Amino acid sequence: MPALKKTALTVISAALLSTFAISPASAVDKDIADDPKPTVPMSKVGGAQLGRVGTQVELGPGAPVLPKDLTGRSWIVADAESGEVLASHNSHWRLPPASTLKMLFADTVMDSPELQPKTRQHKVTDEDLADVGEGSSLVGVKEHLTYTVHDLWLGVFLRSGNDAVHVLSAMYGGVPRTVAAMQAHAEELQALDTNVVSPDGYDAPEQVSSAYDLTLFARSGLQKKDFREYCATATADFPGEKKGKKRGTFEIQNTDRLLTGAGGVEPYKGIAGVKNGYTTHAGNTFTGVAERNGKVLLVTVMNPSSKEPHAVYKEAASLLDWGFDAAGKVTPVGELVPPKSAQTGTESANGNSTSGTSGPGSKDAGKHGQAATGAAATKGSGGVGIALGIVGGVLLLLAGGAFLVNRRWPLPDLVRRLPRH
């Protein structure tokens, strides 16, 4: 997201943090940039060690040391399927999330009836775009033109378009309803560091999340087939303005540099998204998922202080490399907790199953032990143009769709990018 006006962020009081409250607190306004240390106590969701200040890691025999020169104010690397947190650093520090909050937006509303089917068309009104923040990142949605839901999701995931977010929010029932649904879904996911103010991640007083929560959002969203497909898409055609009787298109590219290799960043082998963000207040933020030799890891890095170009991507890549090498050689320092409803098989607070489209009997459900298969795809009329691969997920589900608690939370059919040729 381009540079935005600097805004104040309310620092939640220690008393409220101790109860992991979601609602905004009336505390002293303070700019995060002026307070480089986390407010304590931090949440202990996922384990007491994750609530400690500083780096948390327990190396075993043969385990590699953590990468040097990690400058992120907060980061976490975890096993996407088992939920084991391999290492973390201030993972519950409540920080501005920037556009990584769009993962929660997508996970909350993507499967809603209001946005089905993907081919549904919507003519954009002036009101739909009235509240898009000044200086927002935009994909180029225009008033009085028609777009499909599929087009708009491409705009959200590839160009981090706040204009696309606001149109989808309008279709869902408006920004206030969307924000309320996102907050309820965050609570259902036990992402209790998160306070939602805007659906697009635009800087706003009291809008905060954490590396831990962003990782929960990615993990939940990746249960959905469409979510995985969009976040793994490198380039697509987006509808432009009418030229005579025909409507043109223009190419958009994913702003995730680990996926595209843009700007001189080395593309990460096995990367599958999921979302990056930037504002002047939040700094650079990034959550990514990658697969190597059947192991799927999630990483989140928030606001590196390094002045090196693209530091957020380089630090995320180095943490992924470390995680793949360290898997099985470290004692987990915590876990990514399952959603509340996963313990009982009930639906989430916003009325959607937290397993997305991967429940029993779903067409999206992976098969145990399914081998990785390649599916080369080119950029077509559907707009999703990327070489895709399918990694089979392990489905350990109880009758009725409840996940096994404290066991492998499945990441079925992970879409990942094949090596570049």
Environment class of residue 361 by beta-carbon count within 10 Å: exposed (0-12), middle (13-18) or buried (19+)?
A: exposed
| The Cα angle at residue 167 between residues 10 and 98, in degrees rounded to 5 | 30
Our answer to whether residue 102 is catalytic in this structure is yes
Structure-block tokens of residue 70: 């990690």
Environment class of residue 29 by beta-carbon count within 10 Å: exposed (0-12), middle (13-18) or buried (19+)?
A: exposed
Residue of 43, 82, 99, 136 marked active site? 99
User: How far is it, in rounded angstroms, from Cα 92 to Cα 85?
Assistant: 13
Environment class of residue 138 by beta-carbon count within 10 Å: exposed (0-12), middle (13-18) or buried (19+)?
A: middle
Residue of 43, 74, 91, 102 marked active site? 102
DSSP3 helix / strand / coil % (the chain, rounded to 5): 25, 20, 50
Phi, psi of 311 (to 5 degrees): -60, -35
**In which residue are the tokens 């005579």 written?**
244
Residue of 74, 82, 160, 358 marked active site? 160
- Quick one: DSSP state of residue 330? B
Structure-block tokens of residue 300: 């989140």
Element holding 163 (H helix, E strand): helix 162-172
Q: Could you give the residue numbers annotated as active site?
A: 99, 102, 160
